[in-house]
Amino acid sequence: MEKLHVQPTELDVLPYYEFEYTLELYNEIIKERNDEDKKRNQETQDSYNLGGMQKNAANMTKGMSSFKPPTMPSINTPRF
């Protein structure tokens, strides 16, 4: 969390417009950090190609679920 460097009692005493302005600044800081985090995560994902690996893993598991073991042929034993 970002520290506002303002005591809660000071926030209570602030006029409405100053309180609103403080909240707007705080929201902008949070939005900027979220955007930076998204960009950093996207860059990391692109550099390691995690999206492609996840797709390949999903395709491999999809193929394994359709795998059926071979059936044993029925052989009649000769009678004497």
pLDDT for the residue 9: 87
pLDDT for the residue 34: 95
pTM above 0.85, yes or no: no
Residues ≥6 apart with Cβ < 8 Å to 22 = 4, 6, 11, 14
pLDDT tens, position by position, for the chain (80 residues)?
566 677 888 888 989 998 899 889 889 999 999 999 999 988 887 777 766 677 777 777 665 666 677 788 888 877 77
DSSP category for residue 5: S
pLDDT for the residue 31: 95
For 10-76, the DSSP string reads HHHHS-HHHHHHHHHHHHHHHHHHHHHHHHHHHHHHHHHTHHHHHHHHHHHHHHHHT--PPPPPP-P
- How many residues in total does the chain contain? 80
